[in-house]
Amino acid sequence: MSYTAPLKDMLFNIEHLARIDQVAQLPGFEDAGLETAQAVLEECAKLNEGVIAPLNWEGDKYPSSFHDGKVTTTPGFKEAFRQYAEGGWQGLQHPVDFGGQGLPKTIGAACGEILNSANMSFALCPLLTDGAIEALITAGSDDLKNVYLEKLVSGQWTGTMNLTEPQAGSDLAAVRSRAEPQPDGTYKVFGTKIFITYGEHDMAENIVHLVLARVTGAPEGVKGISLFVVPKFMVNADGSLGARNDVHCVSIEHKMGIKASPTAVLQYGDHGGAVGYLVGEENRGLEYMFIMMNAARYAVGVQGIAVSERAYQKAVGYAKDRVQSRPVDGSFTTAAPIIHHADVKRMLMTMRAATEGCRAMASVAAAAYDAAHHHPDAEVRKQNATFYEFLVPLVKGYSTEMSLEVTSLGVQVHGGMGFIEETGAAQYYRDAKILTIYEGTTAIQANDLVGRKTARDGGTSAKAIAAQIQKTETELTARGSANALAVAKRLTAARLAFVDVVEFIAANSKSNPNAAFAGSVPYLMLAGNLVAGWQLARALLVAEDLSAKGQDVPFMQAKITTARFYADHLLSRAPGVRDAIVEGAEAVTALPAEAF
């Protein structure tokens, strides 16, 4: 069950694809170059490999438990979280003004992958806290920042995101929790929230809930939702903890995966009303909550990459040890480790190529985020923000859907033993499933990609990305090596398929929206497939250069092989997806609901 952080691949992406040298030129990041990135990732790996990863399977066997209103986490989690917080990891990307380290997302995202590969159930607690911190930094008053941010950034307190209710699901217009204004400027909050990750636990002394609710008399629908801070324990004027607030956990869910993460049902206001503090202005809560949502959506995409990496390492280890049958090429005269069998190699290469492609895409997106927030030139900030926003649903949607394929292949490599829980491969498959659901299902990501990111500007942003990809195709063709030419051919076919779908969406979004949205998820998968393949194509160019110079030749040759495999086996799916979307829309939309 051991885990080794893929530091070499991460640092390759950070240096050559995300261009950490350019990130380090941004104001505030002058000390965050490659040397810093390597030092931080190495320390992160030590903690996670030695302390947090060994608890992953323990959490699956001995999940969090609920008794008498209290949640007890898996043995070892509380102590591990203390080490995590004391090491300053919660504040890695957050401002130094509140006790954080102020490092760029380009570095922080890689650390996030390491943490989630080590133990996704554990990592969900700091993930939600990150979102709460971002929301308060962006929309919180100075008073709220002064009371809560330093403790959240230090990991002394943790944060949650309270959106969903029993009747609402993903439809936040149906939120019914209410907030009644009080003479002292606070609010009394009443209602039930479900699926609250780490809504109750024993790892920190206070939990800061960010809660969507309607102020009395607010408009119906999403325009009438406000955001409130509701602490588990009230905070005294001197910063010490006071009385218990009127928010209580009434149960936790029994889940197919991420079992160690307590998913709580929280009840607000059963004893007179939970004291809440308005974040920003009334009726702008959804706007503020989306700050948390965007941060969380990217982070969930990284979770998909993380669990894929863990499943891949597990499958490779098993394939090297499991002896069964002779290879068809006669290279062994007796039974051999299954890693010598052609189809096992195909499965392992699919796992590796998908994981490394998504990792490269996420790394480049993180660098765009850093430039969008810190570059001194407003136009450069705008360009990077547009690029990042387009990539968020791809990182979230494509990486998590791919994680299901990767973790399923991980079980398949193990054969019958993969179906046995004690082997450990099945946990990654079960854990991965939630990633396509929470923080917005794949369909929600796809609708965002179609509506806000493609149709709204008539496909301009999408075609701008296609133009960048075409430049890489030109570089590959000019390189002229067999691998570069083969990848260029596949990349061109995938890009043309993508552009055709973009034009189809732009042409139909208003006149025939059912046709435009019928293929939204396949479009997201096509776009993610293309962008991940593009990044691996860029990686191939770098790897060929460095290999020719004699730099870490085994790693560079492996990167070249992976990029070529991705192009031949994954990018090659794109034209067929294009046909299904453009020519198959009618088949999706023709049948009435009653026909099912």
Cite the active site residues: 439
Distance CA 304, CA 292 (A): 18
Distance CA 327, CA 329 (A): 6
Q: What are phi and psi of 191, to 5 degrees?
A: 150, 180
Q: Residue 209, Cα to own-chain centre: how many angstroms?
A: 21
Distance CA 233, CA 54 (A): 32
Contact predicate 212/266, CB 8 Å: no
Distance CA 332, CA 322 (A): 14
Contact predicate 85/151, CB 8 Å: no
Distance CA 595, CA 578 (A): 26
Long-range contacts of 561-565, Cβ-Cβ distance < 8 Å, separation of 24 or more: 562/349, 562/352, 562/353, 562/356, 562/536, 563/353, 563/483, 563/487, 563/536, 563/537, 563/539, 564/483, 564/486, 564/487, 564/540, 565/349, 565/350, 565/352, 565/353
Cα distances (angstroms) measured from residue 223 to each of 169, 172, 248? 17, 10, 28
Side chain identity, residue 414: H
Instruction: Give the count of beta carbons closer than 10 Å to the beta carbon of residue 130.
Output: 24
Q: Characterize 175-202 residue by residue with b for buried, 16 or more Cβ atoms within 10 angstroms of its Cβ, and e for exposed.
A: bebbbeeeeeebbbbbbbbbbbbbbbbe
256 exposed, middle or buried (CB, 10 Å; 0-12, 13-18, 19+)? Answer: exposed
Contact predicate 575/497, CB 8 Å: yes
